[in-house]
Structure 1
Amino acid sequence: MNNSAENSDDLEVVTLASGCFWCTEAVFKRVNGVISAVSGYSGGPVDNPSYDQVCSGRTGHAEAVQVKFDPKIISLEQILEIFWYTHDPTTLNRQGNDVGTQYRSAVFYNSQSQKDIALKIKNDLESKKVYQNPIVTEITPFKNFYQAEEYHKDYYDNNKTVPYCS
């Protein structure tokens, strides 16, 4: 991750859910222009949920990654292209063997501009028939984000031999 601009007011944040946050965090941490990629929980009404609570599927939260990036280095369009191409946005509440609303595909936008860009890219992917099935990714206003427990941080980097992470 490029940390040189970490204190800049020009940074942008978007929160993305694409199944298990371990691999999503690992992908975005390796992208030039991404300042941070933090695993957590977003989109539900329960305050400060635990991993076990989110895994129950009863909190309304999705496993998500909050991505802080420098738009002078990487655009939101590029961030969203990475997002849509690194998971299956056509499976409702599911990514592979992970099933439940906590594994849904979602873009939690922070501004009208972010919403417009997300909708445009989603519509472009649909019109080009990039995926055989319709995209079910939610594009919804950002409500909250609760950072995941410390043991989730850098999970992929610390557990590369675990079959789930391969």
Structure 2
Amino acid sequence: MFGKKEIFKLDKLKEGFTFKLKKAIWRISEIAEYDWNGDGRSIEYILKSEKSEEAFLEVEVLKGDYEIYFSKAISLDDYILRDAINTEEVIVFNDQFFLEEHYKGAYKNLTNRGSWENLKSYMFYNKSDDVLTIEDWGDGKYEVFYGEEIKTKSIKKITPN
């Protein structure tokens, strides 16, 4: 069957797979899972680009369709993050974001066989639908990611390792 393209399920990719997204080639370096306590599960791929950039691709299957977020970690002071959670709004990159969704759940890095860790996730959106996600790990540690929801067709040339 010459020329037949192999179809990969975006929630079933493996470490080492590569794909093209946003004019870069990304390699899956680690895989993690989120359990959103009754609100579903999602897979997170930790990505490395050919230029050693790190990014994250979170994939959730909802009613047979993919919900996909591409993001990169950014750095903001913890007091800004706590204030954003309390006031439900924050200004980042001269743009105002408002809290629209929040979840409690657990996270496990499947690559390094880590244990489940509890977290709260807060998703803030701006007028352009960019997303700012704040993860509160409950031990005083916060992480923040800036990105966007993307379409399945944005991910091209998926290649196994």
TM-score tier (shorter): under 0.3
With a CA cutoff of 8 Å and minimum separation of 6, indicate the structure with the bigger relative contact order: 1
TM-score by length of 2: 0.27
Larger gyration radius, structure 1 or structure 2: 2
Choose between structure 1 and 2: higher strand proportion.
2
